[in-house]
Amino acid sequence: MAVVAFDGPIGAGGNEVGALAARLLNADYVDRLILAQAAKRIGSTVEVLEIKEQRRVPMRDRLAYFLQTMLERSAMSGAGGEPYFGPGLEYLPSEEYTDLAQEPLTAAQRLSDQRFIDVTSSVIKDLARAGDVVIIGRGSNVILKDLPGVLHVGLTTPLELRIRTIVEREHLSWNDAGKYVSDMEKARVIYFKKFFKVHPDDPKLYHMVLNMGTISVNIAAEIVAHAAQKVAAAVQQEKPVS
């Protein structure tokens, strides 16, 4: 049962590579489903969790209700349900940590942040233990670092290509897209340092780091799928025969 944990900066291609790798592995592709399951456990709504994570991102305002509806349907239909994979949804940015990256001002805020991380971590671990899943972001590579059989994949892409991706996806100006990419990357770094005490681009966190500026999405997905199968097979062979 293959398990892959991706991480990389916004615009690096994690959504595209992850979704294709999941299809090649016949595995579930998980991004915002994590928030849907976390919301169930906390007794909150997807919208509240989205706002907590994304409050400072202007483009989220116009998508909040749409995302909430899609996520609630996805949670009911399963990770592979069509509502989750609807047209365009896979292109929404997955590495948005702006709100959690901020320092809490009160004890209540600190407790709320920690509760959010604890619940999200629990959901990610449950998904990984079930197997046959590709998980994008949320610090999943760090959360699953001690779980055998998980392939950890980092992505990198030249800044210019990442900005161009955001320009094309979100129809922003070059300057606005550049600021968005910069802000999101700063928040991502702060998020990892704050909650996991690591830098997200540390190569030691990954089994492989793919430069999406030099290879295609198809090739990257094939590399990941092949490696994930090998890792899963190796772990399976090490298990004692019952």
pLDDT given at position 235: 82
> Does 202 reside within a domain?
yes
> Does 159 reside within a domain?
yes
pLDDT given at position 57: 37
pLDDT given at position 208: 95
- Domain span at residue 34 reads 3-237
Residue 69 pLDDT > 70, yes or no?
Answer: no
Domain CATH code at residue 27: 3.40.50.300
The pLDDT confidence band at residue 1, using thresholds 50, 70 and 90, is confident
Nearest to 84 by CA among 68, 96, 95: 68
pLDDT given at position 147: 92
> Does 242 reside within a domain?
no
Mean pLDDT across the stretch 98-126? 67
- Mean pLDDT, the chain, integer: 75
pTM above 0.75, yes or no: no
pLDDT given at position 170: 86
> Does 147 reside within a domain?
yes
pLDDT given at position 42: 61
> Could you give the number of structural domains in the chain?
1
Mean pLDDT across the stretch 181-202? 90
Query: Tens digit of pLDDT for each residue in 138-174?
Result: 889 999 999 999 999 999 999 999 999 999 988 899 9
The pLDDT confidence band at residue 102, using thresholds 50, 70 and 90, is low
